[in-house]
Structure 1
Amino acid sequence: MQKLTFSFIFALVSFAAFSQPINPTLPDPNPPTEIPGMKLVWDDEFNSNGKPNPDFWKYEKGFVRNEELQWYQEENATCSNSALIIEGRREEIQNPKFKVGSQDWRANRETAHYTSASINTRGQKQWLYGRFEIRARIDTAMGSWPAIWTLGVAKQWPSNGEIDLMEFYRVNNVPTILANVAWGTDKQYVAKWDTERIPFAHFLAKDPECTKKFHIWRMDWTKESIKLYLDDELLNTTLLSETINPDGFNPFTQPHYLLLNLALGGNGGNPDRSKFPIKYEVDYVRVYQEK
């Protein structure tokens, strides 16, 4: 018993000696936290300058979804000063898929007036259950629509399942943080949503300086439920007993991959009068699972 007690004390002293104070406005310089009963199965601390690690991340390109304004491209995602920076820019990009008279919104725009980036771990990294922690700072400018989300590896959306650990956009012109879970219905491309929408004013009331700081978005995903948190405040709980598609498939009992993106326009609002660049900064992504 004395040896165990000494070892425990030594571990606490060692951690205190090597850990550094956390400035909420800067990336956390400390290594991943140990969580009792869990092991760290994957993380990206974004500590190397340059492009995101190609062993982990792929890029979406062009016009992708929701008739958003941005053209996704690799150039807008870089790692610098121990963080991933996804940058929304006001710039002109010619659409190589442009077709006069096309009914497809991806093809009937001759030019994109904004660019951004969307990266994901599809085919690289995927997980079934666990605790996901993402420390990030979002830009709340008009037009900004940052997100942290997952998609299931099998089936077409939404039958593959979607988990939105974080979305920020405007709901009826009100800046809002969203925590969502979606799965399939008997109609193609129509999802069943379990959505929580929390006005951003709720977080500003607790901390008027919160937009200047990094925050931790967390998911605790088990065989029973998905719980979504912001800085340890529980935002949404979804029971997996309720997330079954009409064909009997539960998309949250399969592995998911992770996406990080900054959309512009759409639900984010009109960015025409916003100051650019708009920045979405991710300090780290960490995935823990039970030992």
Structure 2
Amino acid sequence: MRSHHWRKKPQNIEYTSACLITKGLHSWQYGKFEMRAQIDISSGLWPAFWTLGNSGHWPANGEIDIMEYYKGKLLANIASLGANKKPKWFSKTKFTEELGGKEWASKFHIWRMDWDSEAIRLYVDDILLNKANLSELKNDDGTDINPFKQKHYILLNLAMGGLNGGEIGDTKFPNQMKVDYVRVYQK
């Protein structure tokens, strides 16, 4: 009988991916977060530059997707805990075709988050993709906790496949998300 567990299925894994995480090393509350990078928009790839709050379990700890890409869409998302115990998303999407498609993806771009005690603003190349006031982002579980009034740590990853990444199909490998720099500025 064949196992359905991914670790027991193949003798060799065809793909691997990686995630850099600052959890336990450094975290920040408020500031300007910036990444200059080039992403591949091939089928099945799912690059992201995001943060999670230090305290609480997801989604009650808060998630900020400064850059997330999959299935032809560039996303700028913010999530807290909804009344139904599921994530409450504040999302904006821009199709990469609107930005210039493969030609746009062949260049480096700057993703930025401006986060202060009043609002979170998410940009690509100085184009505002999403803005949410912190007053709207409290968890809806009756605790009155706002996960965006705490320190967050950074995650940088290139995932592949899965529910959001989709079919890998004809994507050529090896593949990469090229990161020139990640910077955090604080007063």
The answer to whether TM tops 0.5 is yes
CA displacement, residues 215-269 of structure 1 (integer Å, 9 cap, x when unaligned): 0000000100000000000000011000111221000000000000011012122
* Bigger relative contact order (CA 8 A; separation at least 6): 2
Task: Note if contact 1:134-1:285 (Cα within 8 Å) is conserved in structure 2.
Answer: yes
What is the deviation of 1:119? 1.1
Which amino acid in structure 1 is aligned with residue 179 of structure 2? V
Task: Note if contact 1:141-1:278 (Cα within 8 Å) is conserved in structure 2.
Answer: no
What residue ranges of structure 2 are gaps of 5+ in the alignment? none
Percent identity over the alignment is: 49
More helix by share: 1
Equivalent residue, structure 2, for 1:289: 186
What is the deviation of 1:106? 6.2
Instruction: Flag the structure with larger Rg.
Output: 1
Of the structure 1 ranges 264-273 and 245-254, higher mean CA displacement relative to structure 2 is found in: 264-273
Equivalent residue, structure 2, for 1:238: 132
Superposed CA RMSD: 1.8
Within the alignment, does 1:180 sit opposite 2:77 as a pair? Answer: yes
Equivalent residue, structure 1, for 2:58: 157
1:220 aligned to 85, 93, 114, which one?
114
Equivalent residue, structure 1, for 2:169: 272
Equivalent residue, structure 1, for 2:152: 256
Matches within 5 A, 1:1-291: 100=3, 110-111=9-10, 112-170=13-71, 175-188=72-85, 190-204=86-100, 209-245=103-139, 246=141, 247-266=143-162, 267-290=164-187
Task: Please give the alpha-carbon distance, in whole angstroms, between the structure 2 residues aligned to 1:115 and 1:223.
Answer: 38
Query: Could you tell me the TM-score, scaled by structure 1's length?
Result: 0.59
- Cα separation, partners in 2 of 1:128 and 1:202, compared to 1, 3 Å: same
What is the deviation of 1:212? 1.5
What residue ranges of structure 1 are gaps of 5+ in the alignment? 1-98
- Cα separation, partners in 2 of 1:216 and 1:106, compared to 1, 3 Å: same
What is the deviation of 1:110? 2.3
Task: Please give the alpha-carbon distance, in whole angstroms, between the structure 2 residues aligned to 1:215 and 1:260.
Answer: 15
1:135 is paired with a residue of what secondary structure?
A: strand
